[in-house]
């Protein structure tokens, strides 16, 4: 098989693995995204996963930017008020956002995720910090 076809097949397999891991993590949690469960969901062998990812943390590293996009996309970072309102609205009406918020913990270390929000929201640092904590609290109480 020519190298470019092998590369394309490898990329498709890798994408299937990531898609399966994301699906499992969003619906069941990252702890349920075992190599066996991912392989079954992706329709490939466990050794097929091992050829692309040696550790589960390698899969988490690939999921992190997907999670960041899913979480940030519906949010308004113009002010703390806009951010809070968009967070509450997204959590209440956007199933994908809610699932991402509730399952992101093992994918993105909490302090990294919170710091990423602190650095993105426009506002006084103390107001931003308070706003993020209010959003997290809202999510915990309403999950």
pLDDT in tens, 57-79: 999 999 999 999 999 999 999 99
pLDDT in tens, 103-138: 998 998 776 778 888 999 999 999 999 999 999 999
When pLDDT is averaged across residues 29-46 and rounded to a whole number, the result is: 96
Query: For residues 91 and 126, what is the distance between their CA atoms, to the nearest angstrom?
Result: 23
- Secondary structure letter of residue 32 according to DSSP: G
Which of 1.10.10.60, 1.20.140.10, 3.40.50.2000, 3.30.470.20 is the CATH number of 3-54?
1.10.10.60
- Give the count of beta carbons closer than 10 Å to the beta carbon of residue 69: 10
Query: For residues 141 and 143, what is the distance between their CA atoms, to the nearest angstrom?
Result: 6
> Domain boundaries in the chain?
3-54, 66-141
Q: Answer yes or no: is pLDDT of 4 > 60.
A: yes
Query: Which DSSP string do the residues of 68-84 spell out, in sequence order?
Result: HHHHHTT---SSHHHHH
Query: For residues 56 and 89, what is the distance between their CA atoms, to the nearest angstrom?
Result: 32
pLDDT confidence of residue 2: 62
- Do 43 and 76 contact (CB within 8 A), yes or no? no
């Amino acid at each position: 098989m020519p190298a470019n076809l092998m590369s394309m097949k490898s990329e498709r397999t890798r994408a299937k693995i990531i898609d399966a891991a994301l699906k499992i993590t969003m619906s069941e949690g990252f702890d349920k995204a075992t190599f066996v469960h991912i392989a079954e969901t992706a329709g490939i062998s466990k050794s097929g996963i091992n050829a692309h990812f040696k550790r589960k943390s390698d899969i988490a590293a690939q999921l992190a930017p997907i999670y960041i996009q899913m979480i940030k996309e519906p949010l308004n970072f113009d002010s703390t008020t806009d951010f809070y309102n968009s967070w509450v609205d997204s959590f209440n009406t956007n199933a994908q956002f809610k699932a991402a918020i509730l399952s992101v913990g093992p994918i993105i270390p909490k302090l990294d995720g919170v710091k990423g929000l602190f650095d993105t929201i426009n506002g006084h640092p103390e107001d931003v910090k308070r706003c993020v904590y209010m959003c997290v609290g809202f999510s915990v109480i309403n999950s």
